[in-house]
Structure 1
Amino acid sequence: MNSYFKYILPLFITLNLCFTYAQSDFILKDDVSDKIKFDFASNLIIIPLEINGVTLSFVLDSSVSKPILFNLSQGDSLDLRNTETFYLHGLGADGRLKALKSSYNRIKVGDAVSTNKDVYVVFDSSINFTPRLGIVIHGIIGYDIFKDFVVEINYNSKYLRLHKSESYKPKSSKRWKSLPLNIYKKKPYVNAKVKIKNSETDVKLLIDTRSSDALWLFEDLENGITPIKELFFDDYLGKGLSGSVYGKRSKVKSFQLSDFILNDVNVAFPDSSTINRAKLYKDRSGSLGGGILKRFNFFFRL
């Protein structure tokens, strides 16, 4: 398996689904932003981001539809205005979390700037990436960046580039593979296959760059998506925006994304109470996380 990973590491995948917007929230003067270097810790991408002139560290989260700030050690200097109470939905607890919505904020990512952006602030001190990563993390951002640009993620060299969608021209090469995306409620999904026992099963997975795990699957007895009895253990899977998530850890015999096949992939099966709240998209089978995504370099085109 290691030799196969070495072979696929240089490959690029372009994930496509085209939309037309009246205007972009972020403005990029040039066709391409300079390299945005990122830190990579526990399979998470951590980028520098400015809010109202203050530089912060945010996790790039392809599964989040709103910029969320949850470490307010610099809150007084952020000059957050026009606030109102708001409720966010996520994994864990009762599936919702009280937050503060602030409007008309200036956000800068690389060379891209938005001067009219909503930011959502949560005050739950238990939502904190810093102790686990050893890096101060102030929040998460995702869809707002992905919707306005072709986002190049180079895991090998640890950088992002933002490309204007209208001027981006994909390179034609056998080293590239283009895959379709499905967007549901501002979240990207991709089709894949898993083999748990002796048969393959089609799955639709949320692309989740905020997940450190390789793969999450929702148990589905009818379609054979369940951990093998002899090969799982109960475990704490992590913390969602609304609380802790528990489940089972196991392995699948193989995971296939387009033509790429990985063997003996680690998988987590979150418990059923979590699934019922998270499965807003009825066709969703689970999540594709950083443990697999880091094997590739990507261009996301929403």
Structure 2
Amino acid sequence: MLLRAEGLGKRLGGRWVLHEISLEVASGEMVGIIGPNGSGKSTLLSCLVGEKKADTGQVWLRGRPLAEMGAKERARQIAVLAQEEVGEIYFTVKGIVEMGRHPHLGRWPWLGERDERIVADVLRQTDSQHLAERIFAGLSGGEKQRVSLARALAQEPVLLVLDEPTAYLDLKYQFALLNWIKQWQASCGLTVIMVLHDLNLAAQYCDRLLVLKQGRIVRQGTPHEVIVPEMVEAVYGMSPIVVEHPLLGVPQVLLTAMQAQENGEERER
């Protein structure tokens, strides 16, 4: 088991936002975390990678307590693409991606031939090579997201953790980015944990899904076990039609126009 968490709890602003979260992630697995806004998804990711200290429970990576690892050791194994990375950073795109190699450098802070080759490879594989000399701050949101992914992949992590990686991306690049991740997973044995809002994308790309509501796990399993009408209604307050994708055979959620508005008006009454 690559990653294991037991009994994770976290308080923010005087209230518990995570309650007794336990999960296991196997090597080479792609796990999606889904749930409504405010359910604790981003906080859970932060606790799983050691960016935030849980108030209860513990996380193990490759059998070792994550809390015993220093920041550089964690960075050699875990790469994180967070929502807030899409910001005003005045470095070139190539410079941003080169930062992904820093955890692997020795006492001298310059890149060797292998590091340069890895940077060039991930720029090409994320369709970002033509941006290499552009200033990161001047890119569109979608371009920044692709470059941030390239930086994360340049770390050569065993675990890639992504918080809403398809944010800021148009339809074409949502699928392109997830395809890149899936290809890296297959070719390198990469393990992936990611937060997604789109249930249909989650069902198409993830091996297993975990559903959070109000900081608690309410369901987990394969897409077929998780993406069912009763889950969508209980967690999201919507009555969906769940159909099978005609090519992939995975569940897909259809909603009826005006339903969200009607549900909101009913709650107000």
TM-score (ref. length: structure 2) = 0.27
TM-score (ref. length: structure 1) = 0.25
Structure showing greater relative contact order (alpha-carbon pairs closer than 8 Å, 6 or more residues apart):
1
Q: Structure 1 or 2: larger helix share? A: 2
Q: Structure 1 or 2: larger strand share? A: 1
